[in-house]
Amino acid sequence: MSDVLSSGSPPSNGSRPRTYLPFVNNFCPRRSLETSRYGNYFLANGWRPTRRMEKADLIFIYTCGCFNSSEQRTLNTIRQALARKRPDARLVVTGCLMKIHPEVLGGDYDLLPLEGINALDGLIDARVKLASVPDANRIHPIGDLISTRDFLVKKFKMDFELTSLFASKVRSLFLGRTKYRGTWNIRIATGCLGNCSYCALKFSGGRVKSKAPEAVVEEFSRGLRLGEKTFVLINQDIGSYGQDIDTDIVTLLERLLDFDGDYKIRLIDLNPRWLVRYFDRWRPLLRRHASKIAYLSMPVQSGSERILKLMRRPYTASDIRECFRALKKDTPGLVINTHFIVGFPGETDRDFADSAALAREFDFGRLSIHPYQDRPRTESSTMPDKVPGPVLFRRYRALLSL
Ligand code: SF4
């Protein structure tokens, strides 16, 4: 435990404002937006961002535990920060990994659980309290979690992980940082209502807590007044919005899309169960406002009914097909992006063929393929019939090449 801050904020040498350096998984819009709120908080308290570990008075790491690779990148970022920070600087670690895989965390740094994040006020002697800082709407340029040299050592053991990590690093350089630049992001809720057997995210997000519709509409109209053109609704499953406050995602969208203007909304991370449940209302809404929907990103995850059941995804591949076919007929210009997980435990060639057929049938705007991986404490990590690496990697490449 560094000693400088235990007696309040680091001494500012008169003219030099204190500096902070945040890190987050640049690929995660939720946590990037949240970390941007913390950035606004530091700025409001007179701190300034720095990009240099050696220069920072406080290094703030928002951990990620969604994938093995992001956990590795998190642990490496902590290692690098401990090795390179000034002895009097503070290292604060928080985020999803604390809920997903807490056993791998702990050391000469401050661990702040998300539910206790307001303790930052005491750490930095805050004049402006964190609880009073509203949600951010713009994502700051934040340091990405650092990939490790360790993977090179492991290269011979886990080929596909390295390949996908290398690919994601390149993508993050060109896309991750830019993907959310110039967008007005609105956190509409936290958590979800899912119990997907492979998902570790549910351990950090918890059950859905929706923001009041009036607050979402206020943030949206403020963005319009500021001339924003691209809006992103943010949550780990935006479809679960409103289920805890007696409303729903379609009702919210009907209110937002009533605003006139030249803008587009990106609907990301929408569990397809909500498309199926409210399809009689989605269909006319999307037909009427297709020009205002930049894209719909709905992870179907598999085309096999058997695998969807094992994943605990509460919809069927035939439900999805029916909805997608109707949308393609009604609104041919509507862009639908999706995700597939390949190599889920027990996945046979037959199951994989079902996924490939679904991926081929619809010209998805973007197809994200994720090689299955065990995550701590998930149901699927205890399932038998794990798909061997070479088979998994062959299927991964096959879907990627579609
Ligand atoms: S809905 Fe999404 S975030 Fe929730 S458990 Fe399923 S995969 Fe995880």
For Cα atoms 165, 62, 377, give the angle at the middle one, nearest 5 degrees. 70
Q: What is the pLDDT of residues 59-72, one digit of tens each?
A: 999 999 999 989 99
Mean pLDDT lowest for which of 14-28, 36-50, 103-117? 14-28
Pocket perturbation via mutation, ligand 1, pick of 64, 201, 203, 310 by most ligand atoms within 8 A of CB: 201
Query: Is residue 252 assigned to a domain?
Result: yes
Domain shared by 119 and 187, yes or no: no
Does the structure show a pLDDT above 50 at 2?
no
How far apart are the C-alpha atoms of 266 and 155, rounded to whole Å? 36
Q: Are residues 224 and 319 in the same domain?
A: yes
Distance 358 CA to ligand 1 centre (A): 21
Question: Could you tell me if residue 160 is inside a domain?
Answer: no
Domain boundary (144, 170, 199) is at 144
CA of 262 to the centre of ligand 1 (A): 32
Domain termination residue (choose one: 89, 120, 144): 144
The verdict on 129 and 195 lying in the same domain is: no
Q: Give bridge partners of residue 340 from the DSSP assignment.
A: 301, 369
Same domain, 316 and 208: yes
Atom of ligand 1 nearest to the CA of 312: 6
Q: Is the pLDDT of residue 16 over 70?
A: yes
**Is residue 115 located within the same domain as residue 190?**
no
Whole-number Å distance, alpha carbon 109 to ligand 1 midpoint, is 30
- What's the gap in Å between 335 CA and the centre of ligand 1? 22
pLDDT band at 17 (very low <50, low <70, confident <90, very high): confident
> Is residue 121 domain-shared with residue 204, that is, in the same domain?
no
Beta bridge partners of 336: 296
Do 97 and 104 contact (CB within 8 A), yes or no?
yes
Span 285-295, average pLDDT: 94
* Both structure tokens of 354: 């079902």
Number of domains the chain contains: 2
Q: Does the C-beta of 235 come closer than 6 Å to ligand 1? A: no
- 30 ligand 1 Cβ < 6 A: no
- Residue 192 shares a structural domain with residue 68: no
191 CA from centroid of ligand 1 (Å): 8
Ligand 1 pocket, residue 273 CB under 6 Å: no
Residue 17 or 133, more confident: 133
Q: For residue 196, how far is its CA from the centre of ligand 1 (angstroms)?
A: 6
- Classify residue 162: in a domain, yes or no: no
Q: Does residue 163 lie within any of the structural domains? A: no
Domain contains 164:
no
Residues 94-123: tens digit of each pLDDT: 999 999 999 999 999 999 999 999 999 999
Q: Are residues 131 and 194 in the same domain?
A: no
Residue 5 has pLDDT above 70, yes or no: no
Is residue 1 in a domain? no
CA distance 2 to 275: 50
Amino acid of residue 277: R
In angstroms, how far is CA 199 from the centroid of its own chain?
Answer: 12
Q: Are both 93 and 187 inside the same structural domain?
A: no
Q: What is the mean pLDDT of residues 335-361?
A: 97
Ligand 1 and 196: CB distance under 6 A: yes
Instruction: Report the distance separating Cα 267 and Cα 277, nearest Å.
Output: 17
Q: Domain range spanning residue 69?
A: 19-144
Ligand 1 contact via 303 beta carbon (within 6 Å): no
* Confidence (pLDDT) at 378: 97
Q: What is the mean pLDDT of the chain?
A: 90
Q: Which CATH number goes with the domain that contains 386?
A: 3.80.30.20
Say whether both 206 and 260 belong to one domain.
Answer: yes
> What percentage of the chain carries pLDDT values higher than 90?
81
The verdict on the CB of residue 272 being under 6 Å from ligand 1 is no
Given 144, 160, 175, the domain boundary residue is 144
pLDDT value at position 358? Answer: 97
My answer on whether 59 and 120 are in the same domain is yes
Q: Tell me what pLDDT residue 260 has.
A: 95
Is residue 157 in some structural domain? no
pLDDT at 179: 59
Residues 6+ away with beta carbon under 8 Å from 363: none
- Look-up: residue for tokens 């886990």? 158
314 Cα to the center of ligand 1, angstroms: 11
- Do the Cβ atoms of 118 and 86 come closer than 8 Å? no
Which residue, 307, 310, 312, is CA-closest to 271? 312
* Cβ(271) – ligand 1 distance below 6 Å: yes
Alpha-carbon distance of 166 to 189, in angstroms, equals: 32
Q: How far is the CA of 195 from the centre of ligand 1 (A)?
A: 6
| Residues 228 and 322 both lie in one domain | yes
188 and 204 Cβ atoms separated by less than 8 Å = no
User: For residue 296, what are the β-bridge partners?
Assistant: 267, 336
Please report which confidence band the pLDDT of residue 310 belongs to, taking 50, 70 and 90 as the band edges: very high
- The bridge status of strand 90-95 relative to strand 110-111 is parallel
* CATH number, domain containing residue 90: 3.40.50.12160
Phi and psi dihedrals of 91, rounded to 5?
Answer: -120, 115
pLDDT exceeds cutoff 50 at 300: yes
